[in-house]
Amino acid sequence: MAFEPLPSVPDHTALEREILAWWDEQGIFDELREQNRGGERFSFIDGPITANNPMGVHHAWGRTLKDVFVRYKAVRGFDQRYQNGFDCQGLWVEVEVEKSLGLNSKREIEEYGLAEFAARCKERVAEYAEVITEQSRRLGMWMDWDNDYHTFSDTNIEYIWRFLKAVHERGWLYKGHRSTPWCPRCGTSISQHELFAGEYKELEHPSLFVRFPLKGREGESLVVWTTTPWTLPANVAAAVRPDAEYGLRDGGWMLAREKEDYEHVARGEDLVGLEYEGPFDELPAQEGVVHRVIAWDDVSLEEGSGIVHIAPGAGTEDFELSRVHGLKVLVAIDESGRMTEEYGPFAGRTTEEVEQPVIDALRERGLLVEAGRIVHRYPTCWRCGTPLLFRVVDDWFIACDEIRQPMLDANATVEWTPAFYSKRMDDWLRNMGDWNISRKRYFGLPLPFYPCTCGRLNVIGSRAELDGRATGGLDQLQELHRPWIDEVPIACEACGEEVRRVTEVGDAWLDAGIIPFSTLGWQNPERIEGGYATGAAEGLSGADLPDHAHWEQWFPADWISEMREQIRLWFYSISFMSVTLEGRSPYRKVLTYEKLLDEHGREMHRSWGNAILADEALDRMGADVMRWMFCEQNPGQNIKFGYGPAQEVRRRLLTLWNSVSFLVTYARIEGYKPRWADLEGGPDAELQPLDRWLLARTQRLVAEMEAAYERYWTPALTGSFESFVDDLSNWYIRRSRRRFYSLDEAAFRTLWYALVQGVRAIGPVMPFLAEHLWQVLVAGPVADAPRSVFLAGWPERSEALADEALVAEVSVVRRVVELGRQARATSGLKLRQPLRRLVVEGAAPAEAHADEIRGELRVKEVEFGEVEASELRVKPNLPVLGPKLGKELGAVRAALEAGEFEELPGGGFRAAGHELSAGEVLVERAGKEGWAVAGGEGVTVALQTTLDPELELEGRVLDLIHELNSMRKEAGLDLTDRIVVTLPESLSDLLAHANWIKEEVLAVEIRTDGGSAEPEIAKA
């Protein structure tokens, strides 16, 4: 077996499709799972993706992170469950189905028929579950795709019923009558966490100042401010701040401003209790309402008139005030956001449609003081984007006061990455209100609440309990969804009367929150085959319902990962349910990440034309490139995603490809045969120092990668790997190149070892390229090697090959060389021109490597000592210092510019009261005449730039070698072809170095008798 040649650049997309097919055909994933079965367990629980639309590129970020760590644990031999989840019911599915059916209100859904509507919802879920599965496979995600969980399964629903029953038994469940955010299009209330999930949009609304005439005080009015004209017909009170000063002018009372003249000034408390005429007292809704002034400490003195119009049926704070002051609650709008019957001329119109009629009526009645417009941030529905209203309704709540502290305690046991999200979770828990779990909708978890007129609230906890207590309708109950469940009444446990279920369905976060219990078989006595894929999920997957022993093995999750929004959603709901049922967190570690933006940092929107579809990205970038970009990103910051950055990644990944290609090319020419045993103890050849360094450098890579995987920190994975490949390519190969022109075993075996171990370590990040390179480097040419990189295990670090001191030394050497190149660049001399001397300061560990430095920088002598510089200039390293210093940057920059700084040991500086480390500044030292100087991070080099005849001649020889080698390439010669060179007479002085030239260009002979003005070559 021999190495197969590589094309000059990889075709990522084609290569990935080939690998996918090969994995399938070879059953690699199944074999890996088999290999790990019974091993130590790693429990990952997948947060469900909504099976509602194709996957977006933002989902690809999360799914990449999941796969990277699940794969890593698999390579390390951990036994895992690999269960993918789909979120299948609730508002998001309903809204998309409504759109596709052209339905636009709850009435239209009911006309369409709930059974039919449920069928369409299920079809949509089945369709998109398949689409997402295909996209996820394409991304390289390894999951047990025939074993997905679907949250609309009857089993999942039953587990939630059980939870709700437990909540009821603790006395936490209650029916609340309160003002909640309401989406008039979806016709349902929106919970606190959904409110945060929605967007605040900049919207324009009317801004009105309106007079409310005071009773018994002729000619005096209150002036109130409002941006919601539709709430004025539901006004019952006006609130003032008792300790604020109000002034009367032109008959209107408003907050008194300083240095203004008023006819009268009074404190707010003096106005409290006054009665006034409401603006629409003639409406039937207003019958019997006595309008009066109430005291409220939270009246804003910042905007408006300092007098707040109170409509308890249309605002949260207004509603709370109605309880304190015993105010009448007038509910002005129905489910669809239209004014109700009792609002006379406004009845049947939307809140927007009544704006102008209300303004006109106020003007007619002489009550309008001022009408303008205002643009402000306003909450919208997270599903459909409709501006939210406030409406007083009955909703079901879970009280959270008793669970707040236990949830905070549970969160204290969780390790968050990045760590600051732990505090975000705490903040949310400290501020969370009672959980509004009911939605007035159709295709969702049916709340198992059966309130009886006798006062008893019956809560059903399981299907068996329902069967036992049902008084009819069981024969038509095909699954636990509306409309079927609504046809099953039960007998009240207190009075025996027949009672019916409330019509509400549950918050979708209940569906996803129960997963750590429902999918793992909590309290289930015996495993049931296919026992999870029940009800609506039947036929969609083959998921079993495991038994309780299984739950004990896999709960809590060792690790979960979702985006930051899930702090208020999934992380919150699984934690809420788990702390309720088991008193502890359902996860030990969590990785979370921010938002995905376009490459210019703007949000992606289809309507802006900057959205990227996942399919298109996978086709154009390739999955590995996408995965690399996602891994490279600090998850605590938004990612800028796009084809520009992808191109950049693709270009950088070429260094690895070219390094493999280099090895393969020369292995084919020289007949090198790799052996498997080399991967175990390292090559037992006669190693040169550089070989020992690369072997040690590889151990360092493995250690760094292992540490990064173990702390779930992907930027360190890509960072370590990239710096390793740079060392391998730009130091090892560069310095050893000629050893590959003949069969130098030690060099081939060392490079092969390093490349293979590197490919194994990076496999979880870019599985396709790693698998492909494994085929090229190992599976192809080595007999009896594992056929997949993922069956080969982790490249364990070898203590015998490790040498931290050597790795550190070479890293300093590379630094010196880099500075040497910088110094040369400032001198304007060609890279090829040999120079006389380099002086190096602050790089003692590099002393043993003076030869390598000489070779790399083409200098005759390297001296370690003090660099004599005539001038020192220090500038701020802006990308580093900017974020650190903020506003202080200006002062520091000015001090550095003025030369007002002090040098610190270790290469740092002190300026304007700040200590700047070596990495935070850019140091320029101007050399003495005839020297070029460069420095940074504590190392300084000085390069002698004056030339003598010997150096000049050598420079010309090197130019010639370069030219001849270019000619070889242009002539299409093979790397091994020998040539004859003919030089013009004018270059005959270069023949002093004839042997050197011959060696470098593979010439058998150099002639000077051609008569041409230019050098010529011919194949020998």
Task: Specify the residue, 99 or 734, whose C-beta has the smaller distance to Zn ion.
Answer: 99
* The one segment of 258-266, 287-295, 467-475, 486-494 that binds Zn ion by CB under 5 A: 486-494
Q: Which residues of 422-432 are buried (b: 16+ CB within 10 A; e: fewer)?
A: beebeebbeeb
Instruction: For helices 114-139 and 91-101, give the axis angle rounded to 10 degrees.
Output: 110
Instruction: State both tokens at 110.
Output: 């009911």
In the complex, what is the shortest distance from the CB of residue 471 to Zn ion, in angstroms, rounded to a whole number? 13
- Tokens 């975000």 -> residue: 424
Q: Taking CB under 5 A as the rule, does residue 201 contact Zn ion?
A: no
* d(C-alpha 665, C-alpha 671), whole Å: 10
Which span sits near Zn ion by CB under 5 A: 384-392, 621-629, 749-757, 868-876?
A: 384-392
Size of the site for Zn ion (CB under 5 A): 14
Q: Report, in Å, the least distance between residue 396 CB and Zn ion.
A: 18
Quick check: 508 binds Zn ion (CB under 5 A)? Answer: no
**49 lies in the binding site for Zn ion (CB under 5 A):** no
Q: Is residue 494 involved in binding Zn ion (CB under 5 A)?
A: yes
- State in angstroms the smallest separation of the CB of 106 from Zn ion: 11
CB of 306 to Zn ion, least distance (A): 34
Does residue 381 bind Zn ion (CB under 5 A)? yes
CB of 3 or CB of 390, closer to Zn ion: 390
Enumerate residues 6+ apart whose C-beta is below 8 A from 48. 85, 86, 87, 88, 149, 151, 511, 512, 515
With CB under 5 A as the contact rule, which of the stretches 139-147, 493-501, 529-537, 852-860 interacts with Zn ion? 493-501
Task: Work out how close the CB of 94 gets to Zn ion at its nearest, in angstroms, rounded to a whole number.
Answer: 10
Instruction: Match 């947060």 to its residue by tokens.
Output: 47
Phi/psi at 681 (nearest 5 deg)? Answer: -110, 0
CB-CB contact of 512 with 437 (8 Å): no
Q: Does 388 bind Zn ion (CB under 5 A)?
A: no
What is the nearest approach in angstroms of Zn ion to the Cβ of residue 386? 5
- Closest to Zn ion by CB, 90 vs 306, is 90
**CB-wise, 452 or 759, nearer to Zn ion?**
452
Dist. CA 919–CA 913, nearest whole Å: 17
Of 101, 265, 384, 399, which one interacts with Zn ion (CB under 5 A)? 384
Is the Cβ of residue 214 or residue 488 nearer to Zn ion in the bound state?
Answer: 488
Residue 808 touches Zn ion, criterion: CB under 5 A: no
Does residue number 454 form part of the binding site for Zn ion (CB under 5 A)?
A: yes
CB-based contact 556:578 (threshold 8 Å)? yes
Q: Which is nearer to Zn ion, 455 or 601 (CB)?
A: 455
Query: Quick check: 106 binds Zn ion (CB under 5 A)?
Result: no
Q: Is the dihedral of CA 761, 767, 773, 778 positive or negative?
A: positive
Comparison of 14 and 454: residue with beta carbon closer to Zn ion: 454
CB of 656 to Zn ion, least distance (A): 48
Q: Which is nearer to Zn ion, 501 or 968 (CB)?
A: 501
Query: Which are the contacts of 403, defined by CB distance < 8 A and separation ≥ 6?
Result: 172, 576, 579, 580
d(CA 923, CA 440): 67
Q: Is 456 near Zn ion (CB under 5 A)?
A: yes
Task: Name the 3-class secondary structure at 213.
Answer: strand
Nearer to Zn ion, 492 or 563 (CB): 492
- Of 300, 294, 297, nearest to 243 by C-alpha is 297
What whole-number distance in Å separates Cα of residue 159 and Cα of residue 462?
Answer: 8
Place of tokens 């610190």: 904
Could you give phi then psi for residue 995, rounded to 5 degrees?
-65, -40
Judged by beta carbon, residue 17 or residue 469, the one nearer Zn ion is 469
Any residues with CB less than 8 A from the CB of 166 and at least 6 apart, and which?
461, 580, 581
* Structural tokens at position 243: 């300790």
- Which H helix or E strand runs over 841? strand 835-841
Interface segment toward Zn ion; rule CB under 5 A; list 389-397, 485-493, 745-753, 898-906: 485-493
In the complex, minimum distance from the CB of residue 300 to Zn ion, in angstroms, rounded to a whole number: 28
Q: Which is nearer to Zn ion, 452 or 1003 (CB)?
A: 452
Stretches 31-39, 81-89, 109-117, 376-384: which one binds Zn ion (CB under 5 A)? 376-384
Stretch that binds Zn ion, among 181-189, 503-511, 786-794, 923-931 (CB under 5 A): 181-189
Using the contact rule CB under 5 A, the part of the chain among 140-148, 183-191, 515-523, 658-666 near Zn ion is 183-191
**Binding test (CB under 5 A) with Zn ion, winner from 68, 141, 183, 457:** 183
Burial (0-12, 13-18, 19+ Cβ within 10 Å), 666: buried
Q: Is the peptide bond before 883 cis (omega within 30 degrees of 0)?
A: no
Residue found by looking up tokens 């084919």 in the block: 668
CA dihedral in degrees (31, 36, 38, 39; nearest 10)? 180
Classify strands 252-255 and 221-226 as parallel, antiparallel or unpaired: parallel
Question: Would you give the distance in Å from CA 305 to the centre of its chain?
Answer: 44
Instruction: Considering only the stretches 203-211, 447-455, 629-637, 775-783, report the one whose residues sit in contact with Zn ion under the rule CB under 5 A.
Output: 447-455
Q: Return the number of the residue (492 or 614) whose C-beta is nearest Zn ion.
A: 492
Our CA angle for 120, 121, 127, nearest 5°, is: 85
Using alpha carbons only, give the angle 412, 415, 417 rounded to the nearest 5 degrees: 130
Instruction: For Zn ion, give the closer residue by CB, 185 or 291.
Output: 185
Alpha-carbon distance 585 to 962, whole Å?
A: 66
Note whether 491 binds Zn ion by CB under 5 A. Answer: no
CB of 376 to Zn ion, least distance (A): 20
For residues 346 and 338, give the distance between their C-alpha atoms in angstroms, rounded to a whole number.
Answer: 9
d(CA 121, CA 102): 14
Q: Does 186 bind Zn ion (CB under 5 A)?
A: yes
Find the shortest distance in angstroms from Cβ 314 to Zn ion.
18
Q: Which of 88, 358, 492, 577 binds Zn ion (CB under 5 A)?
A: 492
Told to check if 371 binds Zn ion by CB under 5 A, we report no
- The smaller minimum CB distance to Zn ion, of residues 382 and 753, is found at 382
Mutual angle of helices 623-632 and 714-727, in 10-degree steps: 110
Task: Find residue 178's DSSP bridge partners.
Answer: 393
In the complex, least distance from residue 179 CB atom to Zn ion, rounded to whole angstroms: 18
Please check whether residue 499 is in contact with residue 449, taking contact to mean a CB–CB distance below 8 angstroms. Answer: no
CB-nearer residue toward Zn ion: 500 or 735: 500
Residue in the block written with tokens 């006061």 = 401
**One residue of 495, 825, 848, 1018 binding Zn ion per CB under 5 A:** 495
Of 107-115, 182-190, 407-415, 465-473, which segment contacts Zn ion by CB under 5 A? 182-190
By the rule CB under 5 A, 185 interacts with Zn ion: yes
Binding segment for Zn ion (CB under 5 A), chosen from 12-20, 33-41, 180-188, 865-873, is 180-188
Taking contact as CB under 5 A, which single stretch among the options 226-234, 383-391, 398-406, 709-717 is the one that binds Zn ion? 383-391
- Least separation in angstroms between residue 104's CB and Zn ion is 11
| Per-position DSSP letters for 676-745, written without gaps between them | TTHHHH---S---HHHHHHHHHHHHHHHHHHHHHHTT-HHHHHHHHHHHHHHIIIIIIHHHGGGGGTT-H
Of 229-237, 247-255, 494-502, 649-657: span binding Zn ion (CB under 5 A):
494-502
Least distance CB 381 / Zn ion (angstroms): 3
Shortest distance, position 337 Cβ to Zn ion, whole Å: 10
CB of 199 to Zn ion, least distance (A): 12
Residues that bind Zn ion (CB under 5 A): 183, 185-186, 381, 383-384, 386, 452, 454, 456, 492, 494-495, 497
